[in-house]
Structure 1
Amino acid sequence: MPKAAPRPCTKVGCGALVHDGSGRCAKHPKPVWNKPVTATKRITGRRLQAMRAALFAAHPLCAACERQGRVALATQRDHITPLAEGGADDADNVQGLCEPCHEVKSKAEAVRGLRRSRFA
């Protein structure tokens, strides 16, 4: 089977050709992501299920939609301040969101995370 044509390294400013299909030359390996030591530990299991049920029982509507005058059922448990940005995993830092609002908020958080990692 023929090999793919070599491509330039994806590191900005590097013009070295990459033959192995990884996208990066030997001088510029992709950085490995590791969870920060200071990251908040997530709640899981039955405790999380109970917290979700309590949240949706107390606040069944999407918080973001309510702020905009819309009505939508909350289906996602969302951290107001993301855990990656120092938020706590407790009842004071959660809200119920509908799927579309949660997706928009999550994408914005991902962009902020990428910017933090590039400029840190």
Structure 2
Amino acid sequence: MPQAIPRPCRTGTCSNVTTNRNGYCEEHQAKASGWLNQDRGSSSQRGYGGRWKRIRVRIMRRDKALCQPCKAEGKVMPAVAVDHIVPKAEGGTDADENLQAICKLCHKLKTEEESRRARGRGQNFQA
């Protein structure tokens, strides 16, 4: 297996180099997000255990398992997840009015935007 080539840390002001796949040196690992950040804990540890599963069923039923962002644009798409309209990392809650059924594409795009905002604030986004 070829050796990884050291490259500058993704943190703009850092002078360290790294071979980590996520692009962050050891000092800045907390900025990594997504599947490369292995320190997120289990879904239950992040607040998505049995209580969340019951909430999810209720919201999917309320929204008739249709993606609400797509519906607002006049499109009909099946939802695959329940999403926090205002992310928990930005002060959102699990209140019904802050939850929506969402399709895979809308969820992916929304999560990417939330991650960009979190990186801009210097925080590690936690879903």
Question: Normalised by the size of structure 1, how large is the TM-score?
Answer: 0.68
Code of the residue aligned with 1:81 in structure 2: it is V
Paired residue for 1:57? 61
Q: Could you tell me which of 58, 74, 98 is aligned with 1:93? A: 98
Contact 1:8 1:15 in 2 (8 A): no
Contact 1:42 1:89 in 2 (8 A): no
Deviation of the 1:29 alpha carbon: 5.2
Q: Distance in 1 between matches of 2:4 and 2:47?
A: 45
Q: Distance in 1 between matches of 2:112 and 2:30?
A: 18
Paired residue for 2:111? 106
Deviation of the 1:54 alpha carbon: 0.8
Aligned residue pairs, count: 107
Contact 2:7 2:19 in 1 (8 A): no
1 or 2 for the larger relative contact order (CA 8 Å, sep ≥6)?
2
Q: Could you tell me which of 66, 70, 80 is aligned with 2:75? A: 70
Q: Distance in 1 between matches of 2:95 and 2:13?
A: 44
Question: Normalised by the size of structure 2, how large is the TM-score?
Answer: 0.65
Gaps of 5+ in 1: 35-40
Q: Distance in 1 between matches of 2:116 and 2:86?
A: 15
Contact 1:52 1:77 in 2 (8 A): yes
Pair member with larger Rg: 1
- Mean alpha-carbon deviation: is it higher for 106-115 or for 85-94? 85-94
- How big is the alpha-carbon RMSD for the aligned residues of Structure 1 and Structure 2? 3.5
Code of the residue aligned with 2:113 in structure 1: it is A
Code of the residue aligned with 1:56 in structure 2: it is M
- Mean alpha-carbon deviation: is it higher for 41-50 or for 105-114? 41-50
Sequence identity (%): 31
Deviation of the 1:42 alpha carbon: 5.2
Contact 1:75 1:99 in 2 (8 A): yes
Gaps of 5+ in 2: 32-44
